[in-house]
Chain A
Amino acid sequence: MTVDNSSPRQRILNLFAGKKTDRVPCFSGMGNVTTEGLKKFGYKFAELHSNAKMLADAAASTYKLFGFECGIVPFDLCVEAEALGCEINVYAHSDDILYPTIKKKLITNEEEMDIRIPSDVSNRGRMPLMKDAIRHLKSDIGDNAVIGSYVLGPFTLAGQIMELNDLLKLSFKKPDKVGKLLDNLSDVIISVAKEYESAGVDFITVREMGATSDVLSPRVFKSLILPYLKKVFSELKSANVLHICGKTNDIAVFMLESGAKAISVDQKNDVAETRKKIGSNALLFGNYDPYNVLVSGTPELVHETIKKCIDSGVSAVWPGCDIWPTVPPDNFKAMMDTVQQYRR
């Protein structure tokens, strides 16, 4: 039987389904806007976040310009927190690329941690806009590129709606209280993800960067973070990925235990080592440095880095974090060329 790798999308779907592919795909589940794409439309970064059409145009432009095999919305990490009632700052005054942030936290002290989740949470804030953007993207490039969206992991979302310092300390002092909050937030994340699924995404990435081993011990990851990640992944219907940036080799096995179909790790890890830890069958995405290689490196460095990712056994060439917008076109081309030509 021949396997259908006729489009990048089909190849990626095959990969998720555990079928053979002719080469590793090159895509991402995190933000993928570039300044080249913005130039093409004359858009300002700050304007994108609250306009479905612009968001989708910008997300699709990376596929159109460079052949990057996906279209992903949103670009910021505030959608769920906003749906829960936080106000965000998009830095409208700035011409620089500043990523949206939360203006004011929802929980300001320990007593407020027992939050009530609005029943229509998946329709609040920019949720309707995200679904629109997904539909635009899908009809624009969805035949050839995979369409995706991301949600935060429960712990990272908790860090958006309360002071991260407090959350980290309470993880030790009051693990039960934190557990309850994470449980509630898992429900929010699941309903948000379901809305994205019904809008038509091919896959969903869960970003749990707040629980990286640069910050939190593997022991606490296992006891406090993993159970709620399991809960989230058990409810996802579409293909999915768990991404955690920073040092993660000590938790790579737990990441896989979460039930995610694939795990994604960043450049701080020796990815050949990660591969050894999780075995040869698991899907492992990674792990080039989106800034120090793709933006500020030379095409030669890009070429060597991508080769090394492939040689180390990644299942997809995929960045360590969001694509950093100011990628020089020659570097992007070097990456796509290497993926097409190089075989392990």
Chain B
Amino acid sequence: MTGEDRKQEILEALKNAVVQYDEDAAKEAAQKALDLDINVNDAIFNGLVSGMEEVGRLFEAQEYFVPELLMCADALYAGLDLLKPHAETMDLGVKGSVVIGTVEGDVHDIGKNIVKMMFDVAGFTVYDLGRDVPLDKFVEEQLRTDSDLVCLSAMMTTTMVGMQKVIDRLKEKNPDVKIMIGGAPVSKELADKWGADGYADDANNALKDAINMISSLKKMKEDAEAKKSS
């Protein structure tokens, strides 16, 4: 077997381990990838993450449901834990950090956890505040961690209004921070009205949007610094 074949085999094994929610298989394949000196970013993105993409498709097709999704995520984390320490800065074009949580009065956190997982996978540093998070906690945590992005989730029309308060308070303290909101009752229109920078209806779009936002944020900062120094 050539080196290239072997590599394909291991990427395939990583992918299957995630799809079949097999944590042990994921660890084993990740270890093999390290032993054989396979490029770690390759192993993560063309192995584990491509498995997760397949899981996303199965979820949309209603072949997989939330429990399957959570177990696939565990398999993915199992592989990721081994690979991540060896990864070069992940090549997404950006590297960001995000504060995420479900707003006060709301304990619906299944959707939030799925969104969070996407950020983990993409190499973001994630500060997960959990559910039923007091509104000011989002502001404090953003300031403490100097995160690029704050993600708010709400599943009820009553708790959703708390988001608006968080957005106002965050923007007042730190006009540069990007804020993304989501959850079933939230809409693009509301996000615009409340001055959020992003909205997504599912976890995949959340990640895409986040990456765009952070790139533009980084660019803004660089431009500002370039101006200062010139």
B71 touches A169 (CB 8 A): yes
Given A99-B105, A164-B110, A169 contacting B157 (CB threshold 8 A): no
List residues of chain A with CB within 8 A of the CB of B62. Answer: 213, 217
Chain B: number of interface residues, binned into ranges: 20 to 34
List residues of chain B with CB within 8 A of the CB of A295. Answer: 157
User: A281: CB under 8 A from chain B?
Assistant: no
B70 touches A168 (CB 8 A): yes
B107 touches A98 (CB 8 A): no
A96 touches B66 (CB 8 A): no
CA distance A94 to B104 in the complex (A): 10
A215 touches B110 (CB 8 A): yes
List residues of chain B with CB within 8 A of the CB of A171. Answer: 67
List residues of chain B with CB within 8 A of the CB of A101. Answer: 105, 107, 132
List residues of chain B with CB within 8 A of the CB of A94. Answer: 105
Contact with A along B95-128 (1 / 0, CB 8 A): 0000000001101011001000000000000000
List residues of chain B with CB within 8 A of the CB of A102. Answer: 107
User: B92: CB under 8 A from chain A?
Assistant: no
A280 CB, nearest partner CB in chain B, Å = 28
Other-chain contact of B158, A97, A168, A173, A220 (Cβ < 8 Å): A97
CA distance A213 to B63 in the complex (A): 11
Q: Which of A272-324 contact B (CB under 8 A)?
A: 291, 295, 324
List residues of chain B with CB within 8 A of the CB of A99. Answer: 105, 156, 158
User: A165: CB under 8 A from chain B?
Assistant: yes
Q: Which of B40-88 contact A (CB under 8 A)?
A: 62, 64-68, 70-71, 74
The chain A residue with its CB closest to the CB of B67 is A168
B74 touches A169 (CB 8 A): yes
B186 CB, nearest partner CB in chain A, Å = 13
CA distance A91 to B107 in the complex (A): 13
Q: Which of A69-100 contact B (CB under 8 A)?
A: 89, 91, 94, 96-99
User: A65: CB under 8 A from chain B?
Assistant: no
Q: Which of B147-172 contact A (CB under 8 A)?
A: 156-159, 161-162
User: A216: CB under 8 A from chain B?
Assistant: yes
Given A96-B158, A172-B71, A216 contacting B66 (CB threshold 8 A): yes
Q: Which of A182-220 contact B (CB under 8 A)?
A: 213-217, 220
The chain A residue with its CB closest to the CB of B132 is A101
A291 touches B66 (CB 8 A): no
User: B185: CB under 8 A from chain A?
Assistant: yes
Of the candidates B66, B132, B156, the one having the most CB atoms from chain A within 10 angstroms of its own CB is B66
Other-chain contact of B157, A89, A168, A215, A291 (Cβ < 8 Å): A291
Given A98-B158, A169-B74, A220 contacting B67 (CB threshold 8 A): yes
List residues of chain A with CB within 8 A of the CB of B71. Answer: 169, 172-173
Of the candidates B105, B109, B156, the one having the most CB atoms from chain A within 10 angstroms of its own CB is B105
Given A98-B158, A324-B157, A165 contacting B70 (CB threshold 8 A): yes
A98 touches B157 (CB 8 A): no
B75 CB, nearest partner CB in chain A, Å = 11
CA distance A172 to B156 in the complex (A): 29
A213 touches B65 (CB 8 A): yes
Given A171-B67, A291-B185, A165 contacting B110 (CB threshold 8 A): yes
List residues of chain A with CB within 8 A of the CB of B161. Answer: 96
B195 CB, nearest partner CB in chain A, Å = 20
List residues of chain A with CB within 8 A of the CB of B132. Answer: 89, 101
CA distance A214 to B66 in the complex (A): 8
The chain B residue with its CB closest to the CB of A164 is B110
B74 touches A215 (CB 8 A): no
Of the candidates B67, B71, B104, B109, the one having the most CB atoms from chain A within 10 angstroms of its own CB is B67
Other-chain contact of A168, B66, B107, B159, B185 (Cβ < 8 Å): B66
Known interface pairs A216-B66, A324-B158; 17 further A-B residue pairs with C-beta atoms within 8 A, sorted by A's residue number: A96-B162, A98-B105, A99-B105, A164-B110, A165-B70, A168-B66, A168-B70, A169-B71, A171-B67, A172-B68, A215-B67, A216-B67, A217-B62, A217-B67, A217-B68, A220-B67, A295-B157
Binding site for A on B (CB under 8 A): 62, 64-68, 70-71, 74, 104-105, 107, 109-110, 113, 132, 156-159, 161-162, 185
Of all A-B residue pairs in the complex, the 9 with the closest CB atoms, nearest first, are: A98-B105, A168-B67, A217-B65, A215-B66, A101-B107, A97-B158, A291-B157, A169-B70, A172-B67
List 5 A–B pairs whose Cβ atoms lie within 8 Å, in order of A's numbering: A98-B104, A98-B105, A172-B68, A217-B64, A217-B65
